[in-house]
Structures are given as structure tokens and as C-alpha cells.
Amino acid sequence: MALLQISEPGMSAAPHQHKLAVGIDLGTTNSLVATVRSGLSSVLADEQGHALLPSVVHYAADNTIEVGFAAQKKLNLDPHNTIVSVKRFMGRGLQDIDISQLPYHFTETSGMLQIDTRAGVKSPVEVSAEILKALKTRAEEALGGELVGAVITVPAYFDDAQRQATKDAARLAGLNVLRLLNEPTAAAVAYGLDNASEGTYVIYDLGGGTFDISILKLTRGVFEVLATNGDSALGGDDFDQRIFCWILETAKLSPRNAYDMRLLLSKAREAKEWLTEHAEANVSCMLSDGEYVNVTLTTQEFINLTATLVQKTLAPTRKAMRDAGLEISDIQGVVMVGGATRMPQIRKMVAEYFKQAPLTNLDPDKVVALGAAIQANVLAGNKSDADLLLLDVIPLSLGLETMGGLAEKVIHRNSTLPIARAQEFTTYKDGQTAMSIHVVQGERELVSDCRSLARFELRGIPPMVAGAARIRVTFTVDADGLLSVSARETSSNVEANITVKPSYGLSEDEITNMLKASFTSAEIDKKARMLAEARVEASAIIEAVKAALSADSALISVEEVQTIEAEIAKLEVIALTEDAEAIHQAVEALNHATEAFAAARMDASVKLALSGKELNTLDL
């Protein structure tokens, strides 16, 4: 249903002046898209009124791709081809993921992990792109126009590879990324503007697959991130896994096939959500071999099962507080973000640690998308009452490898973005004319314990004695947290540079090929939609005409009835073909054949309405 927008005289912008931009929360469990309309940020719902889009993608046997609720229904039926929690795989290799409990078939690769589906081998970037396409379509249909761009949120503790993978997915979905925004910062924007808050706040963000803790200082529209920490492999999914293991142990079940595993994991998630407001949850289901599972989990048992996970969020919290140089008494409030923060044991722990009740007056599922929409509106150039300045920080240190396999940090974590920082290095051997530069990210001292981001060479260094050359290496990180590195020998001005493309990101050729594939299939998709619409129209008119004949066939001759029935039969046959135009023509032919019948029914209805009434009693 379309809503009429009413503004005060002189207060509404001309349609061409307002640029359509959205904020997207690409979540592990659910994703959302929001926008700003008439100065208010709101989440856009689908046709059924659902604000949340399950982050689930199903590759069907007929080569169609289902996203969201339709895909979610296939979780237990087709687990090998139904991808969930893909956000955990972004920018990650097989060695980074515990695949023992996952129902997917993975392909061996040296880069980002790949999932083998019936639709072919898919990267997490491609799967995420399908989710983003669905959100883009929802937004354009709701707003009635083409988007100029989107702000997409990422966990604060996403490293360069994960951020680049997210940006690649957006490009593949046809989205112009205005900015990648840290999820806690987006939440602070939404919360701060909604409550006109100032002071130092903690954003405790526990989503489906990631945990972030950020400390922000809010002062007159300036959102300054003082410190951030977290765990990109800790979230609500881990709580589900604990319940899943408890079910196996309590019901004395041996390791199951993929179908049973997915079914039990779904039941585990349902139990977790039920225990948010109830004292116990019953888990009952029939397994593929006919075995019946029926166990009951109490709130206290759930608390005991997940105590270590709850405590696991405290270590990053303490580190962030220490990095910010703050005491508990310095914190004005703790904002809860992410659906997993609804668990009572999480809220209890946060209240005890910070010695105050957490702030839960905004929907933890929507707050990130709302904040992203506000930032998108500003970046798109629309007029805004909010004068925002976001001072975000880099989550992990950046540096390069020096002799001995050591990691020399150039930009330290929690440095404010955007940032550029340079450091001088020198040669190791006499007459050295080239230098290999290895860019790494992480907090450890050894390169082997950090993540490798890129390698490039600086050649043409004048031959000098060891230690005489001066190589100035400059690291530049943009507002999205993405990195470029340059190296210059100061005496000769020989220079080399690289825009860091993590080893787990997609190459430009891969992105181009995927985009070409999407353009190629666009015409096919358009024809498929036209065919489906034509078949729906044919089915509707056939049903309507049959119902009319059943009720009023006596109004026309037998020959006319036979003519209409013949046209219905033709349409039923043609509707089974792949020719949308032929279906439309058959529909028109049936419409033409029923014109006299429709007129006769109209006359009969009028006669019935006037029957027994005198002319002077009618309201003419």
C-alpha cells in the first residue's frame, strides 16, 4: 500500500532533489535495508510486512535462486545447497573455519573458501551478493526509483580481507557503496540521534556470527570511536551449537547425516529463542531414520551450557576499556545491538559488569540498519537536520615484514580513520637494488601469526652499502578501512605502490566476469518473469469464466457456450508452453469470446436489481 507523504509548505524537496540512498545491515542471521524519508529513518519491509530478510540462499534443482524466507524453508530439506551464516565465511579460507559440523561440500582452494552447490562452485561473495540483490530490489520497489548508493555495515573487527569481500559482494549485486560503516558506529548514530545523547557509550554488539565491542564518545553530532575490539567468530550461532551438542548427548544420538544435523540445529535455535521469555523449551522432532527426539532444556541448563561463551565476550570488553583508558564509572550507558543480546544471561552479565542496566529501548535487530540509513542519506547529499561527523577507527594494526619474519606495525589498531602514516626502512645487504614489501595485518609480533594482505616489489634502488638507502613506506587507509601502500626511495624518487587486494578477495577479472554473467542472464530473467505473469493472468481468467458459466450459462446459446469452452481449452494448452506472447493472445481471444456473455450477465443483474420496483421509487 502506497502512503501519501505530506509536508509543510516550503519544507518538502522537489522529487529530483532527493537522492535515493539506503543503509544495509548485512547480517549473519538476518539482513535489513533502511532509508530516510521526511527526516526519519525507517526499515523497509517486504510485501508481507517482514522487516527482516533471513540471510539464507538456496540453489534449487531448476537453477532458480531463492533468498530469505523461501530459502529458509529448504534448510532441512536440502542442506547441501542451502547456505546460511555465509557472513562467517567472508574473506576466510578453509583453514580459518571449522567445517566438521557444516553440511556443505567445500572445494579445495588456496584463497577464499568455495562451496560446491548444484548451481556450481560459489564463493561467499557470490552468496552474499544474492542477499544484497534481494535487499536492493526491495528498496527500489518501496522507494520507486533507482538507488544512488548504499552504506553497508560490517563488524568493527572485520579485517581488510573481510571488508574487501563485502565490497566485492555489493559490486556484484549492482550496488554503489557509499561507505562501509562499522556496525557499532551505525548503532551509535541511530541511538545518539534518537535520544539526543552525549557522553561516552559502550556499544555491545552480539549478532548471529560476530561479536563487537566499541566505545564511542558522542559530542554535538561528533561520533568518535575511542576503542574497538571483538571476535569475528563468536555469535548467536555458537549458542545454537551448544544446544545442538546438548541434544545429541541428552538424547544419546550418534553423529547424524546432514539432514538431521540441520534439523537439530534449527530446533536448537528455536529453543534458544523460546528461552528468552520462558523457563523451559521442549525439543521434539522426527529424524530421517524414524527415531523420535523429545528432550526439555531449562533456562538454568542453558545458562550453564553457555556460561563460557558469555564470559568470552568479556575479554574483548576489558581490552577495549583498557585501550580507551576508561573506568566503569566513565560509561554513561551500554547500548545493546544484535538479536543475540536478547538472551537474559547476556543482559545480566552486561548489567553486572558495567554496574548499570543496559539500554534496550531500540530494537537490537534494526538499530544498525537505521544508523546506516542516516549516514547514507548524508553521503548521498540530501539535506539533513543531523550534522554528522563519524570518526571511526581501524580494528587491527597494519604493518610489514622485516628481516627475521618480524611484523613492524606502521598503523596501530584504534587509530582514527581515514589515516595516512609513513615510516622509513633501509636495505639489508650491500648493493641491494630491490626490496620485497610484504604487507600484513594483526597484533602479533611474528609475520607467521599475522594475516598476509599483499606483496609488491620496489625496484631501481641505487646500489649503496647496507643501511644507506632510505625507503619511505606510506600506508593509507580510507574511511571504509581499506588500505593502499606506497614505497619510495628518497634519494632517487623511485616509487612503487599497490592498492591492497587481500588474497581472499576477488580479482578485477573475476568481478568483471561475474557482472557480465549477471548482465547476460538479465534478459533471460526478464523473459521468465513475463512468462510467469502471463500464466498467472491465464489461470485467473480461466477460473473466472468457468465460475461464470457454471452460474449463468443459460443466459446464452449452446453454440456460444461451446465457443467459450473451446477458447478456454485452447488457453489451458497454450498456458503450458514457454511463449508468453502466445498466452497473452489466447487470453485476448477468450476475452473477445466472452464479450456477449458478459453483456448478458450485466443485463440480467440490472433486471434483477430493478425487479418489483416502481420508477418513482428509484434514486435517479
Among 31, 25, 84, CA closest to 266: 84
Domain residue extents for the chain: 21-182+369-381, 185-232+320-366, 236-309, 398-509, 525-619
pLDDT band for position 11 (cuts 50, 70, 90): very low
Among 56, 135, 124, CA closest to 506: 124
Inter-axis angle of helices 508-552 and 558-574, to 10 degrees?
A: 160
CA dihedral 98, 63, 133, 185 (to 10 degrees): -10
Q: Please say whether the beta carbons of 211 and 230 come within 8 A.
A: yes
Residue 345's pLDDT is 93
pLDDT band for position 619 (cuts 50, 70, 90): low
Homologous superfamily (CATH) for 398-509: Substrate Binding Domain Of DNAk; Chain A, domain 1 (2.60.34.10)
Measured CA to CA in angstroms, residue 583 lies from 528, 540, 571 at distances of 13, 13, 7
Given the residues 46, 78, 168, 183, the one annotated as active site: 183
Q: How deeply is 582 buried, as exposed, middle or buried, from its count of CB atoms within 10 A (0-12, 13-18, 19+)?
A: middle
Beta-ladder partners of 441: 398, 451
Given the residues 130, 205, 365, 567, the one annotated as active site: 205
Residue 536's pLDDT is 79
Q: Considering the domain 21-182+369-381 in this protein, what is its CATH number? A: 3.30.420.40
Interatomic CA distance for residues 319 and 230, integer angstroms: 9
Given the residues 46, 74, 87, 238, the one annotated as active site: 87
Give yes or no for residue 3 having a pLDDT over 50: no
CATH architecture of the domain formed by 525-619: Up-down Bundle (1.20)
Q: Please say whether the beta carbons of 20 and 148 come within 8 A.
A: yes
Q: In the predicted model, what is the mean pLDDT of residues 449-464?
A: 82
pLDDT digits (tens, 9 = 90+) for 480-515: 667 888 888 888 888 877 666 655 555 545 555 555
Interatomic CA distance for residues 417 and 367, integer angstroms: 23
Residue 239's pLDDT is 94
Among 138, 4, 120, 142, CA closest to 65: 120
Give yes or no for residue 4 having a pLDDT over 60: no
pLDDT digits (tens, 9 = 90+) for 571-612: 999 988 888 889 989 999 988 888 888 888 888 877 776 666
pLDDT band for position 127 (cuts 50, 70, 90): very high
Name the residue with cell 563519524: 390
More confident residue, 460 or 318: 318
Q: Rounded to 5, what percent of the chain is helix, strand, coil?
A: 40, 25, 35
Q: Considering the domain 236-309 in this protein, what is its CATH number? A: 3.90.640.10
Residue 1's pLDDT is 33
Does the fold of domain 525-619 match that of domain 21-182+369-381? no
Beta-ladder partners of 205: 212, 337
Residue 240's pLDDT is 92
Ordered alpha helix ranges (H), 380-507? none
* Rounded (5°) CA angle 217-223-226: 45
pLDDT digits (tens, 9 = 90+) for 38-73: 778 899 999 899 999 999 999 988 888 999 999 998
Annotated catalytic residue 183: yes
Residue-averaged pLDDT of the chain: 83
Residue 296's pLDDT is 94
Among 545, 422, 562, 559, CA closest to 495: 422
Q: Please say whether the beta carbons of 211 and 134 come within 8 A.
A: no
pLDDT band for position 385 (cuts 50, 70, 90): low
Least confident of 151-165, 300-314, 337-351, 512-526: 512-526
pLDDT digits (tens, 9 = 90+) for 300-310: 999 999 999 99
Annotated catalytic residue 205: yes
User: What separation, in Å, do the N-terminal and C-terminal C-alpha atoms of the chain show?
Assistant: 35
pLDDT digits (tens, 9 = 90+) for 153-172: 998 778 778 888 899 999 99
Residue 392's pLDDT is 67
Give yes or no for residue 6 having a pLDDT over 50: no
Homologous superfamily (CATH) for 185-232+320-366: ATPase, nucleotide binding domain (3.30.420.40)
CA dihedral 220, 225, 226, 227 (to 10 degrees): 160
